[in-house]
Amino acid sequence: MPTYDVELKDLAAHVERKLKAMAESVPTALALTAQQGAYYIQNHTVPIAFAELKDSITAQPHDRGAQISADAPHAAAVEVGSRPHFPPIEPLIRWVKLRGMQGITKRGKIRIAPKMRAGDLNPRRIARMQAFQVATALKGLEETNQSLGVESPEVIAREIQQAIGRHGTKPYRYMFRAIPEIVKLMAKNIKQGFQQIINNGP
């Protein structure tokens, strides 16, 4: 704990300087927290596919601190879900092809499904499970001759499109679920800023 030699008559001014410096340090701590928070969301809570959503997450400083935002076209729908609607088919076909390739080995075998508990929201395990499910569906279509192999992704994509048209999409809450960690980072950064001011002497 640092100690200071301060004349009694200067005590009020000393405390006022310290408090002012602490208040002025908060926006810097918040800006740092936003950068760390954006990184945390990108690597721990955002769903993984083509990285469009992940790459759109940024931290923007302003005069009172900073904010974290995601500006991908589907960012809000992934966070809070969406009402029943019919999304464009092409992005769904691309998604099915991506997950299908991820779920099948070079030898054409379906990869083993990951072990998941109820309520598991780990983005990487979810991506692996989706890959397993899509690969299984693609293999099933080909083996039962319901569709030619080249058309199989579109068949599954249209089934997904119809399901979204009936039920909408569920919320993923990739931003909301990051809040506890961001609060911890914020408290740590503010505390470190205050401690540095206290340690800097009168």
pLDDT confidence of 122, banded at 50, 70, 90? confident
The per-residue b/e assignment along 121-136, b for 16 or more CB within 10 angstroms, e otherwise, is eebeebbbbbbbbbbb
What is the value of pTM for the model shown? 0.75
| 35 inside domain | yes
Q: Report, as an integer, the average pLDDT of 37-66.
A: 90
Please indicate, yes or no, whether residues 179 and 163 belong to a single structural domain of this protein: no
Question: CB within 8 A of 145, min separation 6: which ones?
Answer: none
Alpha carbons 90 and 154: distance in angstroms, whole number: 9
81: pLDDT strictly greater than 80: yes
Please indicate, yes or no, whether residues 131 and 195 belong to a single structural domain of this protein: no
5: pLDDT strictly greater than 70: no
**123 vs 54, which has greater pLDDT?**
54
In the chain, the number of structural domains is 2
Mean pLDDT across the chain: 82
Please indicate, yes or no, whether residues 95 and 138 belong to a single structural domain of this protein: yes
**110 vs 15, which has greater pLDDT?**
15
Q: Which domain holds residue 148?
A: 82-167
